[in-house]
Amino acid sequence: MSRVIAIISTTALAAIVLVAACSPATDEANGSEDAGKTVTKAMVQLAGTKGNEKVSGTVTFTQAATGVLVEAAVTGLTPGKHGFHIHALGDVTCADGKCTAGHWNPTGSAHGGPDADVRHHGDLGNVAADLNGQATYKRVDTVIQLNGVHSIIGRGIIIHAGTDDLTSQPTGAAGARVAQGVIGIAAEK
Ligand code: CU
Ligand code: ZN
């Protein structure tokens, strides 16, 4: 008798497991639909580092026919040019921005300007803030990629206190880090 009950309950358990496996929660279903999809747009929410809390902004990366369109809007800056780079890591847990490590440089190249033949993948040049501290940036980059082994997804973005001179090694001498963010896959909206 007890064996019969054991068999029945095992069968019932198997049925429950089967139902559960075939009816995943909505979030999980969405996740599996996204798996393997080509990324066409990425998004960054910038936050000011310690002592630079008034700096904020967004950066978007959109796949275009000729490269990746990079658009940024930053506020709260001091007037003038500020180094603007993709850094190697998306770790924004350090108040000074330094957990994002150095410039994203998967090819072991020297630092340069965004249009230079030799540059880090992360070298996007500068954003230029007006007298109100507002900066916008719009440029199609032919080096960075949203997919593949050198994808920028999950890496960091840094805005610097000073100007990237586009030549000093290995950072362009742009100084402290005033804002940081992580490059994530954008929602479709
Ligand atoms: Cu930088
Ligand atoms: Zn660089």
Ligand 1 centroid to Cα of residue 111, in Å, is 10
My answer on whether 14 and 66 are in the same domain is no
Query: Which residues keep their CB under 5 angstroms from ion ligand 1?
Result: 85, 158
Residues 138 and 104 in one domain: yes
Are both 91 and 142 inside the same structural domain? yes
Distance 78 CA to ligand 2 centre (A): 22
Asked if 130 and 164 sit in the same domain, the reply is yes
Q: Are 15 and 52 part of one and the same domain?
A: no
Can you list the positions of beta strands (E) in 76-183?
A: 80-87, 123-129, 135-141, 156-160, 177-182
What pLDDT is recorded for position 28?
Answer: 53
Q: What is the pLDDT of residues 137-178, one digit of tens each?
A: 999 999 999 999 999 999 999 999 999 999 999 999 999 999
What is the Å distance from ligand 1's center to 164 Cα?
8
For the chain, the 3-state helix, strand and coil shares in percent, each to the nearest 5, are 15, 35, 50
**What is the DSSP code (8-state) at residue 142?**
S
CA atoms of 164 and 182, how far apart (whole Å): 20
Task: List the CATH number of the domain containing 69.
Answer: 2.60.40.200
As a whole number of angstroms, the distance between CA 120 and CA 103 comes to 7
Domain extent, residue 102, equals 41-185
Same domain (yes/no): 32, 45: no
Distance 37 CA to ligand 1 centre (A): 29
82 with 130, same domain: the answer is yes
Residue 188's pLDDT is what?
A: 85
Domain count, the chain: 2
What are the catalytic residues? 85, 87, 103, 111, 120, 123, 160, 177
pLDDT beneath 70, residues of the chain = 1-35
